Chains A and B, each alone.
Chain A
Amino acid sequence: MEIPRHWRLKKQRYALVGEVCPHCEAKIFPPRDVCPHCSGEAKTPYQFSGQGEVYSYTVMNDAPAGFEENTPYTVAVVKLAEGPMVTAQLTDLGAEPVKIGMPVEMVTRRIRSDGNDRGMIVYGYKFRPVMQ
């Protein structure tokens, strides 16, 4: 069980809270200690819209430990509307195949259970196709 780790990361995982750099105004996700664009300290929270598009994706048929119950699952790098990219699973995929460039939006979902028996369930962001 890694409760402190999951607790520490909950803002970014539940609500896609990143940062805006007070020096150069770059939008940053996930939060960092130093702005990658201007090297200033970045500490101002910023709520991302959760809108984005698929930059790339793959399907995991053979999952690492902790993810077996989800297989097969689709993992993507999503380019957020505000600029940064994020790695996340895709969910609610219908019959439509995943495509690079496909618009997606963030939802909060169960990611995995932490540990086998006592089974703490860990939630976080996933992205689903935007209904058009």
Chain B
Amino acid sequence: MTEVVIAGIGMTPVGEHWDLSLRTLAARAILSAEKDAGGLKPQALYIGNFLGSMVSHQANLGALITDNSGLGGIESFTIEAAEASGAAALHMAYLAVSSGFVDTAMALGVEKVTDMTDGVEKILATGLDFDYEGFEGVTPAAQAALLMQRYIYQYGVGHAAFNWLPLLAHTNAVHNPNAMYRKALKPEVLQSAPPVVDPLTLYDIAPYADGAAAVILTRSGLLPKKPVQKPVRLLGSSVITDALALYDRPDPLRFEAARRSVEQACRQAGILPGDVDLFEVDDFTSIYAVLALEAAGFALPGEGTQLSERGHVPLLTMGGSKARGCPVGASGLYQVCEAVTQLRGQAGALQVPGARLAMTQSLGGPASTAVTHILKV
């Protein structure tokens, strides 16, 4: 079977882009990815977006964004899987190219959160079970807090055991030009931070921000003889769902969809999770990163926080959602673009030496949807 390759990537800086609209953010990432791919244009565009219809009062993004980005007339529509929307859009692009339905496809993740100055938390809560969670006043941060509280109780760890994750994220983001926070944190600041949604502190929750990231896929046989960039192969792409509501899971501390998604993507790629040179894990909250690391098999249940002492595969190499910033439905494609940057050897001060194999995982809600990709040079 012909391999699917990533021929180009594009990202906007993550931040509060008061002056940029949803469509302009999208166009910047699209044009930048096309340029990176040596002018290659997609025959289909799959758009990962969660909030557009509620925050920007804008649906039908396929028509809007293709028209505004010089791609008018091609196949295009929105894929929504809450915070995992962008990664799910990449899965669609992968299916379209690997099936031979198109020769080139683009996955775009775009999110515009600053069109509203308040009320965004309520809109983000639409990613929960509204009738039975949102209705009770629960938000995405509250769900993470419920899990972290239980984790601390069940496994007898302190809150401080989670601090290495935001610390690592902020340390790496210093050298990421697209990151929202480029200042390292002092461990003391983390230790004295008050809980905002008990037991989560400000440093356990990724900051919502605007951003767009795009990836162009094609098949290896279609690449020019001398491609502009070193092609990165997409060897595995898996989307798995779990019960939407936390209370509906036999053990809420097991991210079952995350586990199965890693398993499926690795099987497609013919690798084991332990083979990867870096893992862009989802750190929307510190507890989710720990549960995802356990689900992927890097630690036993209840031992994920110990990875800082035991040593671990390089994680959050460009700052993760915590410090790069969390452009909600676009974050999954930032992860992929960052992994591609690593595999091409273009990560500068953040370069993981000899990186050849990478895994990315994006979660919608508390792993209600889990999307895993395996990339290789």
* A, B bound: yes
Residues of B within 8 A of A107 (CB): none
Asked whether any CB of chain B lies closer than 8 Å to the CB of A85, the reply is: yes
Q: How far does the alpha carbon of A66 sit from the alpha carbon of B137 in the complex, in Å?
A: 8
Residues of A within 8 A of B137 (CB): 60, 63-64, 66-67, 70, 73, 75, 89, 111-112
Interface residues of A in 55-91 (CB under 8 A from B): 55-67, 70, 73, 75-77, 84-89
Asked whether any CB of chain A lies closer than 8 Å to the CB of B121, the reply is: yes
A→B interface (CB under 8 Å): 5, 9, 30, 36, 55-67, 70, 73, 75-77, 84-89, 100, 111-112, 124
Asked whether any CB of chain A lies closer than 8 Å to the CB of B248, the reply is: yes
B150, A56: Cβ atoms under 8 Å? yes
Most central of B133, B136, B199 by chain A CB within 10 Å: B136
A100, B150: Cβ atoms under 8 Å? yes
Asked whether any CB of chain A lies closer than 8 Å to the CB of B9, the reply is: no
CB distance from A104 to the nearest CB of B (A): 14
Asked whether any CB of chain A lies closer than 8 Å to the CB of B184, the reply is: no
Tell me how many residues of B have a C-beta within 8 Å of chain A: 31
CB distance from B113 to the nearest CB of A (A): 15
A100, B153: Cβ atoms under 8 Å? yes
B→A interface (CB under 8 Å): 118-119, 121-122, 125, 131-133, 135-139, 142, 145-147, 149-150, 153, 196-200, 243, 245-248, 252
B135, A58: Cβ atoms under 8 Å? no
Most central of A5, A30, A61, A87 by chain B CB within 10 Å: A87
CB within 8 Å for A56 and B136 given contacts A64-B122, A65-B122: no
Q: How far does the alpha carbon of A116 sit from the alpha carbon of B186 in the complex, in Å?
A: 43
CB within 8 Å for A58 and B145 given contacts A67-B137, A100-B153, A124-B135: yes
Residues of A within 8 A of B136 (CB): 75, 87-89, 111, 124
B198, A58: Cβ atoms under 8 Å? yes
12 CB < 8 A contacts A-B = A5-B131, A55-B252, A58-B149, A58-B197, A58-B199, A60-B197, A62-B121, A65-B121, A76-B146, A85-B248, A100-B150, A124-B136
Partner of B149, one of A5, A30, A70, A100: A100
B252, A62: Cβ atoms under 8 Å? no
B132, A86: Cβ atoms under 8 Å? yes
CB distance from B189 to the nearest CB of A (A): 20
B146, A62: Cβ atoms under 8 Å? no
CB distance from A34 to the nearest CB of B (A): 12
CB within 8 Å for A60 and B153 given contacts A9-B131, A77-B247, A77-B252: no
Q: How far does the alpha carbon of A20 sit from the alpha carbon of B272 in the complex, in Å?
A: 42
